[in-house]
Amino acid sequence: MKLTVTSVRGKEIGTVDIADNATLNDLKVAYKNLKRTGVERQAFYLVGENGARGAVIKGDVPLNTLVKNGDKIIFKDLGPQVGYRTVFLVEYFGPLTAFPIIYALRPYLYSSYDAKNASLNYTQTVAMLLFIVHFLKREFETIFVHKFSNGYMPLLNIFKNTGYYTACAYYIAYYTLHPLYVAPGSDNWTNIFAGLVVLMMICNLICHIILSNLRPRGTTVRRIPKGFLFNLVSCPNYTVEISEWFFFSLMTMTVASFLFTLVGGGQMLVWAIKKHINYRKEFNGKDGKELYPRSRKIIIPFLY
């Protein structure tokens, strides 16, 4: 099967010759051989009305179910890309340094408060340890747990994501380790919420393991997540992540932590809604597919 490849502006780029049962990956390899453009930078679209760019071609279905021999398809260069795993490893490393560096620099950052002789109180110590453990867990999951169906993202994202997480982490660390910081309650107050933070971390890890086990390594198979908190909501990993940071904020009672929880929670809510809609659309009970549980909520059990 031969397909004519054009640019987004309609300029003809070339012709690729692929097998009749070729998939998107075969098309990308053929185009790489033709134009020496890395497969991670390639995006192909069907031709829509009036020759405009139509739906993106994705998945591993045979292309002959979407196009015919001699058809045109549209190519877009996505620009420099970087692997998801690399992005996550880098973006979580920044926050991992926040508390240790702020702690090491306390005598200089808070020189007017005689921080050199001021030791951390119990809540500050626990908060620092929990924060570090959270991002160590993130690094561990990125290496050993997560599987990425979308292998790449734009290179710019590594700077945006890392900048956001790192700035927030240093903001939280600065005020949590401040010499004038006063614990909001007794040690028992700290212990209660620290225990809840750890519990949410464990629940989050369980959710990520369940999601990872859904897809055999090296495939793009998609299944309905089941078991544990997935029986209640579509995205329990976000539910417990938001809860974790909310409990951390209650433990420390800093504006910085609450702001981070609010902004991060809002973004996770947007992601959860999108995933919930996609689950219902994909698993519609037709053509042999499972029917997505209609009673399952988006992110808040029994409510939303």
pLDDT at 219: 63
Angstrom distance (rounded) from CA 248 to CA 169? 13
Judged on CB neighbours under 10 Å (0-12, 13-18, 19+), 145 is middle
Domain check: are 115 and 263 in the same one? yes
Kindly state whether residue 300 falls inside one of the protein's structural domains: no
pLDDT at 27: 94
- The total of structural domains in the chain comes to 2
Kindly state whether residue 302 falls inside one of the protein's structural domains: no
Domain check: are 247 and 178 in the same one? yes
74: three-class secondary structure by DSSP: strand
Angstrom distance (rounded) from CA 45 to CA 8? 9
Tokens coding 242: 């938001």
Instruction: Mark which of 79, 107, 130 sits at the end of a domain.
Output: 79
Kindly state whether residue 299 falls inside one of the protein's structural domains: no
Domain check: are 133 and 64 in the same one? no
Domain check: are 75 and 91 in the same one? no
Instruction: Mark which of 13, 44, 79 sits at the end of a domain.
Output: 79
Kindly state whether residue 27 falls inside one of the protein's structural domains: yes
94: three-class secondary structure by DSSP: helix
Domain check: are 67 and 203 in the same one? no
Domain check: are 220 and 115 in the same one? yes
Q: 198 Cβ partners below 8 Å, 6+ apart? A: 130
Task: Quote the domain boundaries for residue 171.
Answer: 83-282
Q: What is the DSSP letter of 72?
A: E
Domain check: are 91 and 75 in the same one? no
Judge whether 144 and 208 are in contact, CB under 8 Å: no
Kindly state whether residue 304 falls inside one of the protein's structural domains: no
- The neighbouring-strand residues paired with 260 are none
Taking the chain (304 residues) in runs of 10, the rounded mean pLDDT of each run is: 92 92 92 92 90 87 90 94 94 97 92 77 98 98 87 91 96 96 96 98 97 78 91 98 98 98 98 96 88 96 95
pLDDT at 115: 65
- The neighbouring-strand residues paired with 284 are 291
Vertex 281 angle, CA 278 and 286, to 5°: 145
Write phi, then psi, for 37 (nearest 5 degrees). -100, 125
Angstrom distance (rounded) from CA 104 to CA 177? 11
Domain check: are 75 and 100 in the same one? no
Angstrom distance (rounded) from CA 47 to CA 54? 5
Judge whether 58 and 24 are in contact, CB under 8 Å: yes
Q: What is the DSSP letter of 155?
A: T
Instruction: Mark which of 23, 47, 79 sits at the end of a domain.
Output: 79
Kindly state whether residue 278 falls inside one of the protein's structural domains: yes
Kindly state whether residue 63 falls inside one of the protein's structural domains: yes
Query: What's 21's domain CATH number?
Result: 3.10.20.90
Kindly state whether residue 30 falls inside one of the protein's structural domains: yes
Domain check: are 222 and 93 in the same one? yes
Domain check: are 213 and 108 in the same one? yes
pLDDT at 116: 63
Nearest to 83 by CA among 164, 165, 147, 168: 147
Domain check: are 7 and 27 in the same one? yes
Domain check: are 55 and 193 in the same one? no
Angstrom distance (rounded) from CA 41 to CA 128? 40
